[in-house]
Amino acid sequence: MEKGEFRTHPAFQQSAENDGGGFIARNAGNTFDLAGNIKALVEQERKQFDENKWRDEEQFNAAEWMSHRLDTQRHQAYLAYGGKRKEEAEFYNTVKYAYNIIAYDAFSDDHKHEVAMNIDTFAGLRDIDTITLSPQQVELLDTLAEATQVPHTPGQNTFSLTPFIKDYSQNDRSGE
């Protein structure tokens, strides 16, 4: 398989064919132009943003848009078919957290705050301080980073959550 081609996990293959709501579109050769599809989505959103923005100084933030898109993808997978696509939802959820870690510096201050809180909650609920991606997730993350121009080490599969985990052993309240 050549770089840029992507075969979906067999568990997700039927949904990729049927729902059309994902990142990955099927072609006649049963391969996916993952990079091309994602770059086209980003450019489509950039164009739509530019056509609909209220103020000239507003700028499209591709990294932030992708962060939201990954969350939407996870929700769609989880809710589809009565919650029977939990494995697919977890696939996107893990990619979302890894993407948010590598794209953090590209986010607005408001989105940084939201991302940090979400990673802290995710780590606390699972009692983990790192996430590890499968080879398929690494390929998707590398493509997302390229499409949104986020600096990233291609092939990286382990990400530390530690910088986002709040130390709750200290009392943060001012005045106490």
Please report the DSSP string for 100-137 in residue order.
HHHHGGGS-HHHHHHHHHHHHHHHHHHT-SEEE--HHH
Q: How many residues are recorded in the chain?
A: 176
Is the pLDDT at 37 greater than 90? The verdict is no
Give which of 59, 70, 66 is closest to 96, Cα–Cα. 70
The mean-pLDDT minimum among 77-86, 136-145, 160-169 falls in: 77-86
**What is the model's pLDDT at position 31?**
57
pLDDT higher than threshold 60 for residue 158: yes
Residue 160's DSSP bridge partners are: 130
Please give the pLDDT value at position 168: 64
In a domain, 1, yes or no: no
The model's pTM is 0.73
Residue matched to tokens 């050769």: 29
AA letter at 23: F
Please indicate, yes or no, if residue 66 is contained in any of the structural domains.
yes
Is residue 139 a part of any domain in this protein?
yes
Residue 83 lies in a domain: yes
Examine the pLDDT at 9 and tell me if it is beyond 90: no
Residue 143, pLDDT score: 94
Q: What is the domain range of residue 147?
A: 10-164
Three-class secondary structure of residue 159 per DSSP: strand
Banded pLDDT at 36 (limits 50, 70, 90)? confident
* 102: in domain: yes
174 part of a folded domain: no
On whether residue 170 sits in a domain, the answer given is no
**Are residues 63 and 106 in contact, defined by beta-carbon separation less than 8 angstroms?**
yes
Mean pLDDT, rounded, for 72-95: 84
Mean pLDDT over all residues of the chain?
79
> Into how many domains does the chain fold?
1
Task: Flag whether pLDDT at 11 surpasses 50.
Answer: no
Category of 138 on φ-ψ map: left (φ > 0), alpha (ψ -120 to 50) or beta: alpha
Rounded Cα distance, 166 and 171, in Å: 11
Domain-embedded: residue 172: no
Q: Give CA–CA dist 95/167, Å, rounded.
A: 25
Q: How many helices (H) and strands (E) does the chain have?
A: 6, 2
